[in-house]
Amino acid sequence: MVLSVKDRVFAAAEEISAERRPTVSTVRAAAGVSNADATRFLKEWHEEKRAAGGQVAQTPPALLEQAARLAGSVWAEASTAAAERHAAVEAAWVRERAEKDQEIAELVADLDRATSEHAAAATKHADEVSTVTAQRDALERQLATVTRQLEDAREAERTTALKAAEASRKLATAEARATTLEQVHQALLQRVAPEAPTTGS
């Protein structure tokens, strides 16, 4: 089959472009055409190359589905991790608070008992009164210590709330990161999309 002038120019330009940029003179010599034909069809070849280079293949549905699954997986893992961490911190705080409340209740009961004993022993020997007073004072100091510990535990509860808020922020960040991953995936698909084939006349 005899190639048209345009086909010969296009074929020559493709062959030359593998090693260097084709020019009118090199294409004219390789295709055996006139200077005018080489100029005109080489310009068309360049325009088709630029147009083909600007085309982006449509993203296959399978790749879009894979990107969506990837984003969903990242979101699910971040949600699970944040929920587990928050539940563990909350459980530890509830357990510690219950222990402190019980300890305070026991100390208050001991203090009440010591106070009653002090009142009953008021008429007894001064040494006995002094001993009971010392016991009461010691219990009051213990109660003050445990009260401070309870305040510390309440501060820990506030810290837990801050950590929960931080976990929520990280969850939102994970969602944004998943979205970014999808966008990066799309950008990569566009970069690696095959060049559209050149069509001849």
Q: What is the pLDDT along the chain (201 residues), one digit of tens a residue?
A: 678 999 999 999 999 999 999 999 999 999 999 999 999 999 999 999 999 876 655 555 676 677 667 867 877 886 788 689 878 878 888 888 888 888 878 867 888 887 788 777 667 767 765 787 899 999 899 989 989 998 998 998 899 889 989 988 998 898 889 899 889 888 888 888 755 455 544
Do 142 and 93 share a structural domain? yes
Residue 199 maps to a domain: no
Residue 201 maps to a domain: no
Determine the structural domain holding residue 19 and report its residue range.
Answer: 5-54
Do 93 and 173 share a structural domain? yes
Residue 78: CB atoms within 10 A of its CB come to: 19
Spatial distance between the Cα atoms of 19 and 115, rounded to a whole number of angstroms: 104
Residue 48 maps to a domain: yes
Give me the number of domains the chain comprises.
2
pTM above 0.85, yes or no: no
Please state, in angstroms and as integers, the Cα–Cα distance from residue 17 to each residue in 11, 39, 165, following that order: 10, 16, 60
Residue 134 maps to a domain: yes
Do 75 and 44 share a structural domain? no
